[in-house]
Structure formats: structure tokens, C-alpha cells
Chains A and B, each alone.
Chain A
Amino acid sequence: MTEPAVIEQARSARPAATPRRMQPIVPARTVAGNALVLVVAIMTFLSCLTLGAVTLIRDTASVWQSQISREATIQIKPVEGEDIDTALAAAQKIASGFAGVRAAKIVDREATARLLSPWLGEGLNIDELPVPRLVIVTIDETSPPDFAAMRGVLASEIKGVSLDDHRTWVDRLVSMARTTVAIGLAVLVLMLAATVLTVIFATRGAMAGNGQIIEVLHFVGAEASYIAREFRQHFLRTGIKGAAAGGLAAVAVFFAFGWWATRNVATPQADQAIALFGNFTIGPSGYAGVAVVVLIVAALAAITSHLTVVAYLHDIDMPGHAET
């Protein structure tokens, strides 16, 4: 390309007059606006954290429940004149014959000794003591066997037998888990209510400084819908900014806990925490919940600003507002 052609092209590419970037109708950065972002972020963070904690407790509770109801135990006490090994084998056979039983496993001598070693010490000869023996029955959770029938057959064929289907434990755990989840939900409801109110009042606070803008727009002939839209969009953006920051911070906290748990695997603290709460992941429903909280909070800010504008415009047009 020749030099004049390049200059010519550059000239034609330059716009005749550079269009200025117009300021938004609602000022972008104000002290009240920044404070609103911060308040929204903090409240969303706390709400998401509560939501995550409740999700965690709910998931963990259901895991406890299913783990413990997955097994039943047949216990055979030593009876004078009866061979315990024969009784164990018979019990295993009976249990395996029931529909809904996946496996029945005898806890052998060594395993029983290991179970008792914390109380009776090492090097224990189990045959010298009248120690009850166990058969662990693994159950198909979806269609559990008829425990009453199994209990009846076992009792009729084997002496000193008892069947523990862990029902007492499961019932206790279920009620405990339900209570915990109910408390968690109550805390979540309170937290969300506090968030809703805080966001509403913070938005109204941020809107208070915008009265003059609403009034000027009204007097220059702007439609009410135009004014409301401008504010709604502005506060939706503000809300999303704050809520997304809070939501992301909460997700980061969950990741950090998860990472800590993986790093400290097999240490007593982590084992204890994992035994109680699983591996600190809140799962897809938890993340979906965080997203929903973020959207609700942002929408709240937008709706509040919209209603404030409508109320303000209504007030302008009502006698009693004006000074004489």
C-alpha cells in the first residue's frame, strides 16, 4: 500500500466526531451505593454459609441413617452343651435364606478378639470366656427382609440367639437428624429473613439520596416506567455485584474446608470431622441453593428500588407533598 493511501485510509477510519460516553442516569458510584454492595455481599455470604451448613447436616444425617440401617446383627450367646460354631453357621445359613439379605458374615474368633482387645487386652483366648459371637447381616436397603420372621426362625432353631436390626439406633438417629435439620432450617429462615430486611432497608437508604434525580426526571417529562426501569437496572447490577461476591466467598469457604479435610486425612481431627460431617462438600443442591440466594438477593434490591421509585412518583403527584 502506498503512503498516501495509508494516510487516506487512516483519515476515513477516524470518526467525524468522537461520541462521548454519556453518564448513566443513576450515578454509578456513590458512598451509599458502595455501602449497599458491601451489605448485600455480607448478608449473602452469611445466608449462603447457613444454607451450606444446613445442606451438609441434612446430607450427613441421611448418610448416618442409611449406613446404620444397612446392617443387622445376629448375636449368639454361648450355651452349655451347644457348639457355638455350628450355631453361627446355622444362623448364617438361615439369614442368607431370607429375601432382602445381601450377605451374612460370621465375625470370626480373631475379629471378635480384636473387638474386645481395648477392654480385655491382647493375647486373649476367646474360648476361655463366654463371649457372645456375631453374624453381620448386610441388608438390601431398598427391600429389607422380614426381621420378625427371621427372628422367629432363628429363635426356634438356635439357642441363645438374638437379632438386632438396629431399629432403636436408627430411630434415635432419625429423630436426632430431623431435629438437627429442623433447627438448621429455622436458622436458615431467620438468616434469610434478616437478609431480606437488610437488603430492603439498605436499598431504601441508597435510594434516599436519589430523590432529586427521580424528581428531575419526572419534571423533564420522563415516563414513570422509564424512571423505574433506570433505577431497577442500576440496583439489579448493584445487587448482583454484591450478592455474587458474597456467594463466591461462601463457595470459597466450602472449598477451603474440603481442601483442609483432604489435606489432613488420617489425622485425628480430620477423621473426627469426616466421621461427623462427611467430606465437607455441599453437593450440587448446595451450589444451586447458593445461586438461588444470589439471584433472590439481587432481585430484591431491584424490586425494592422499583417500588421506592413508584412510591416516590406517586408522592410527587399527591397534594400534601409540595411546599407552597
Chain B
Amino acid sequence: MRAERSGLKIGTRAPGKTVLIRFENVGLRYGMGPEVLRDISFHIPAKSFQFLSGPSGAGKTTLLRLLFMSLKPTRGLITVFDRDRARIPQKDLPALRRRIGVVFQDFRLLDHMTTYENVALPLRVRGRDESSYRSDVTELLKWVGLGERMHVLPPVLSGGEKQRAAIARALIEQPEILLADEPTGNVDPPLARRLLRLFIEMNKLGTAVVIATHDLTLMDQVDARRMILANSRLDIYD
């Protein structure tokens, strides 16, 4: 897999037949408020690439949180890796979450740790010894172009570097799905294109990618499935 991490092209990989996550008539409301999401049905096939779009406040982040099992739906059925979300005990969630990488719009890097330590964090919290993953982390950092910035603290990094560090952290465990929430929201268009290439390359390596964005120019660069959230409902354009 590592040998393939070079020579990228715009264009995504054909999705596999295996379904990683499936939503059936899912609805969600906060407290006694109106439904934020209503009758949402879709599936994320393995190795697929899709954009999740919609106006601000349409519920993109909420949908990502449902995908990450950080929220429970108020109705409907969510199947994650062939398991009914409602029946997954709390103790099994961390192991399943490790199969899903998340990139936040605001990076969420820990400022007291170096780039290297931030990227290695998912492995460290599993109790792995540093010597067992040092070369993997170093290689990944080089791959995302942060080889020279490995030992600096996040406050010193530029926006683009922070975003690449956040992506590397999401990828270090080689997840089956990568969820990215407005990953290009804080960067200029050339850097946005670079990040997009990074996501496409990961997809080519076999990771299913969901990018939440309202950046139309970004979506126009790739011929991929578009899921549009509006008025609490989801429309899918394959």
C-alpha cells in the first residue's frame, strides 16, 4: 500500500459492493425541537467517494456525527459494518470508531503535542509502544508533506499544514472510511486542490471518503457522488 502512495490523478475509484454504513429512514431531533434530519436513507459502499453538501445549518455535521456513531438517531435504522447501531454496546464503540477516520474543520490538534505526537495519538491511546509505530507515522507525515514539520507544535503550523496533520491523524490507523468536515474551509483554493488530491489518492488506496463541504468549485473538480442535504432531507446525485 505504501508503495502506491505516489503519482496521483484526479478521478476516484469505482465503489466496491460491500456496504460499510447504511441509513434507513433515519430521523434525528434535539430534545423536543423539530427534526433536524428526516427520512434519511443512503449507504456508503466500500472504496466509494462522495461529497456531502448543503447550506450552512442543514445538518451536515450532525449527519457526520451519526456516521461516526457519536450521536444516536431518534428513529430509523443505522447499520455500521453490518452491525445495528442501536444494539452496539458502549464498550464496542471505540474499536468500531477506529475503523472510521474523522477530519474536523477546525483541525482539533492538541497544541501541547508536536505534529508527530498528534498524528501518532490514535495509536498511542491504544496502548501501543512508540517504537512499534514510529516509522509508520514518519512515513505518513512525509507523504502528506509534513516531513520537515514533524517536531513543531501546531500553533507554529500554517492552516494548510494543520489540516494535513489532521488528515494524517485520521489516516494513521488506515481506516475503511474517512469523514472530513469542511476540510478545505480554512485554506486557499490551490491548497484546497492539493488536499482534494490527497483525499482522492487515499480513496484509490481503498478508503471510502465522505467530504462534507459547501464549496461548489471543489465538488466540480471531481466526478463523484453528491449527497445534498436541504430542508432536513437528503437528495443523492450519483
Residue of A nearest to B60 (CB): A324
Contact B108 A319 (CB under 8 A): no
Summed over the interface, the residue pairs from A and B with CB atoms below 8 Å come to a total of 82
List, in ascending order, chain A residues with CB within 8 A of B68's CB: 219
Residue from the list B61, B74, B112, B130 in contact with A319, Cβ < 8 A = B74
Q: Is residue A12 within 8 Å, beta carbon to beta carbon, of the partner chain?
A: no
Residue of B71, B74, B97, B110 touching A213 (CB-CB under 8 A): B110
Q: Give the docked Cα–Cα distance between A262 and B72 (Å).
A: 70
Tell me if A219 and B58 are in contact (CB < 8 A). Answer: no
**Is A322 within 8 A of B125, CB to CB?**
no
Interface-lining segment among A120-128, A191-199, A220-228, A236-244: A220-228
Do residues A22 and B28 form an inter-chain contact, with CB atoms below 8 A? no
For A322, give its contact among B57, B61, B74, B124 (CB under 8 Å). Answer: B61
In the complex, which range does the number of interface residues on chain B fall in? Answer: 35 or more
Per the 8 Å Cβ criterion, residues 1-46 of A in contact with B are 17, 19-20, 22-23, 25, 27
Q: Which A residues lie within 8 Å of B173 (CB)?
A: 221
Q: Does B31 contact A (CB under 8 A)?
A: yes
**Residues in chain A near residue B97, CB distance under 8 A:** 219, 221
Chain A CB within 8 A of B113 CB = yes
Task: Using A319-B29, A324-B36, A324-B61 as known contacts, say yes or no to A23 and B113 having CB atoms under 8 A apart.
Answer: yes
C-alpha spacing A212/B110, complex, angstroms: 8
User: Which of the segments B4-12, B114-122, B192-200 contacts the partner chain?
Assistant: B114-122
Which of B60, B74, B114, B127 lies in contact with A23, CB distance below 8 A?
Answer: B114
Q: How far is the CB of B169 from chain A (nearest CB, A)?
A: 7
Residue of B nearest to A220 (CB): B122
- Interface size of A in residues (CB-CB distance below 8 Å): 27
Whether B72 contacts A319 by the Cβ 8 Å rule is yes
Chain B residues in the interface with A (C-beta under 8 A): 28-31, 36, 57-62, 65, 68, 70-72, 74, 90-91, 94-95, 97-98, 102, 104, 108-110, 112-114, 116-117, 121-122, 124-127, 130-131, 134, 151, 169, 173
Q: Which residues of A contact B (CB under 8 A)?
A: 17, 19-20, 22-23, 25, 27, 212-213, 215-224, 226, 316-317, 319-320, 322-324
- 30 contacting pairs across A/B (C-beta < 8 A): A19-B131, A20-B151, A22-B117, A22-B130, A23-B117, A25-B125, A27-B112, A216-B108, A216-B109, A217-B121, A219-B68, A219-B108, A220-B122, A221-B95, A221-B98, A221-B122, A221-B125, A221-B126, A222-B126, A316-B70, A317-B70, A317-B72, A319-B28, A319-B71, A319-B72, A320-B31, A322-B30, A322-B61, A322-B62, A322-B65
